[in-house]
């Protein structure tokens, strides 16, 4: 990676966005890349505008995506056990820039990036992979070559020259990765989880044990059964599901409130040691408390409950049984 960016010119008229699977560990990659060549590198910051001739690196434990010419960072679900992962960036580039995007896969283990590179291909962008025979860890480029109709598969030494030609449009291809998006209303597609919308779940799970539920119809009644033996009519299922939802959300409020208190205690402890550390603890406490209030407000809002009024609550049934 240092060789690649070190061979790019300071006059490069496109932004470069990089993902290395560093997990949550501290990374000095931007400093290494800045020292390697003329392009300045930095950890991307959420909401910042992207500019040409700059390198934006996914920070530890954050997915990096690009939406409407701006960086978006998130702690969305890990992909292929990684956060940051390359697929979210590829998907967002495909959605936002379409045929003006380039995806490049370098050395790496397993098959991360193949699906995202295919998305770039499907949107008309250009796909590049390092020659697997040239890679120290050939799994990722080999997977890309096997599953994506690559535009280029080259040794690492040739990739910088190719990127310069692509950006300058001197290879017969369209100029790639402009600063402004080429796809209309792309941001509307990327509002959830850093470029991913929620897919329909494979199944609905049991509120009691978490097992998969099977739906069946008995006469005119919809019934749900799990493999352990818990059964629900649709109305009881809806009520039980909501109760479990409320329980989880209230537990999250409690955890956030406890985090706020913990951080506040650490701030008080650090005050006499170093003021800047105490300030960070205070900021963390405030953030947790703000989110606790927001989540509490969400929990306490009115919810749409189609089952309400159609069944009595379990407590009502118990009272009825006693009264009989």
Does 31 share its domain with 114? yes
Instruction: Please indicate, yes or no, if residue 25 is contained in any of the structural domains.
Output: yes
Residues for the chain: how many in total? 324
Q: What is the pLDDT of residues 24-71, one digit of tens each?
A: 999 999 999 999 999 999 999 999 999 999 999 999 999 999 988 999
Are 37 and 12 in contact by the 8 Å Cβ rule? The answer is no
The number of domains in the chain is: 2
Q: How far is the C-alpha of 72 from the C-alpha of 92, rounded, in Å?
A: 10
Does 106 share its domain with 232? no
Does 101 share its domain with 250? no
Instruction: Please indicate, yes or no, if residue 317 is contained in any of the structural domains.
Output: no
Q: According to the model, what pLDDT value does residue 179 have?
A: 56
Whether omega before 84 lies within 30 degrees of 0, making that bond cis, reads yes
How does DSSP classify residue 73?
A: E
**Partners of 6 in beta bridges:** none
Does 206 share its domain with 155? no
Q: According to the model, what pLDDT value does residue 196 have?
A: 58
Q: What is the pLDDT of residues 170-218, one digit of tens each?
A: 765 654 555 555 555 444 444 444 455 677 888 899 998 999 999 998 8
Q: What is the pLDDT of residues 253-293, one digit of tens each?
A: 999 999 999 999 999 999 887 888 999 999 999 999 999 99
Determine the structural domain holding residue 16 and report its residue range: 1-168
Does 5 share its domain with 108? yes
212-229 average pLDDT score: 89
Q: Left if phi > 0, otherwise alpha if psi is -120 to 50, otherwise beta: which for 61?
A: left
């Amino acid at each position: 990676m240092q060789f690649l960016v070190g061979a790019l010119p300071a006059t490069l008229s496109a932004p470069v966005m990089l993902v290395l699977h560093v997990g949550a560990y501290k990374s000095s990659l931007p400093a290494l890349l800045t020292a390697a060549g003329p392009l300045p590198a930095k950890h991307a910051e959420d909401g910042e505008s992207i500019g040409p001739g700059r390198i934006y690196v996914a920070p530890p434990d954050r997915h990096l995506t690009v939406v409407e010419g701006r960086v978006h960072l998130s702690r969305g679900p890990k992909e292929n056990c990684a956060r940051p992962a390359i697929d979210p960036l590829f998907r967002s580039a495909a959605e936002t820039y379409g045929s003006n995007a380039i995806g490049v896969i370098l050395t790496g283990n397993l098959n991360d990036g193949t699906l995202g590179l295919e998305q770039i291909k499907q949107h008309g962008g250009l796909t590049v992979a390092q020659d697997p025979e040239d890679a120290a860890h050939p799994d990722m480029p080999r997977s890309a070559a096997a599953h994506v109709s690559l535009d280029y598969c080259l040794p690492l030494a040739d990739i910088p020259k190719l990127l310069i030609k692509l950006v300058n449009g001197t290879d017969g291809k369209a100029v790639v990765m402009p600063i402004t998006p080429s796809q209309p209303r792309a941001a509307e597609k990327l509002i959830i989880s850093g470029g991913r919308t929620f897919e329909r779940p494979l199944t609905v799970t049991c509120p009691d044990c978490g097992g998969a539920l099977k739906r069946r119809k008995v006469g005119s009644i919809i019934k749900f059964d799990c493999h352990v033996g818990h059964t629900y009519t649709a109305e009881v299922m809806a009520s039980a599901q909501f109760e479990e939802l409320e329980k989880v959300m209230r537990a999250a409020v409690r955890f956030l409130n406890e985090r706020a208190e913990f951080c506040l205690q650490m701030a008080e402890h650090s005050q006499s040691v170093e003021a800047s550390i105490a300030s960070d603890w205070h900021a963390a406490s405030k953030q947790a408390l703000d989110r606790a209030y927001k989540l509490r407000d969400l929990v306490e809002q009115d919810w749409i409950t189609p089952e309400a009024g159609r069944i009595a609550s379990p407590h009502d049934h118990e009272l009825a049984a006693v009264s009989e």
